[in-house]
Amino acid sequence: MGKENDLTKREKGQIKAYYDQGLTFAKIGRKIGRVWTTISKFVRKKYNENERQNCGRKEKLTAHAKRSIVTLATKDNMSSQGIKTTLGLPVHKRTVLRVLANDKNVKYAKYKKQPILTKEHIQKRRDWAREMQMKNEEWF
């Protein structure tokens, strides 16, 4: 299985002409003395290079949906799950996070976790605040 020599300009022109006439790859190959797979590869890669092939997975989110995600995240300060539910998007919440991460105008910030105050802590805070109100002069 050796590699064939490159097609000459003349052969490329003949292939284009025969292809435009509607001949099959096998008939074109017989006429110019090449294997039909060489003709098909040339037509697929070179002759149709202006036509963009739609390869890869299609996006589930439209441009409008992406803008809506960014708007809700910035103006309403919503979580990714909240945005997904509000807009009724058929995607995972991580997809929403990915849209936000790829947007240059949005910066991710996570709230710091704080422990829940117990009743004892609440009472101690109130006692401290009352004590500080009494020591108004000493505070400053």
Is pLDDT at 15 greater than 80 in this prediction? yes
Is pLDDT at 26 greater than 90 in this prediction? yes
Number of compact structural domains in the chain: 2
pLDDT score of 140: 53
Q: Is the pTM of this model over 0.85?
A: no
pLDDT score of 95: 94
Residue type, 49: E
Q: Based on the fold, state whether residues 43 and 68 are members of the same structural domain.
A: no
CATH classification of the domain holding 84: 1.10.10
pLDDT (tens digit, 9 = 90+) per residue, 33-69? 999 998 988 888 876 666 666 778 888 999 999 999 9
Question: Would you say residue 85 lies in a domain?
Answer: yes
Q: Based on the fold, state whether residues 43 and 70 are members of the same structural domain.
A: no
Q: Based on the fold, state whether residues 41 and 68 are members of the same structural domain.
A: no
Question: Would you say residue 131 lies in a domain?
Answer: no
Residues 27-53 as b/e (b if ≥16 CB within 10 A, e otherwise) read ebbeebebeeebbbebeeeeeeeeeee
pLDDT score of 117: 85
Q: CA triplet 112, 77, 103: central angle to 5 degrees?
A: 95
Q: Kindly give the residue spans of alpha helices, DSSP state H, lying in the chain.
A: 9-21, 25-32, 36-42, 63-75, 80-87, 93-102, 119-134, 136-139
73, 109 contact by CB (below 8 A): no
Question: Would you say residue 4 lies in a domain?
Answer: no
pLDDT score of 52: 63
Higher pLDDT, 108 or 120: 120
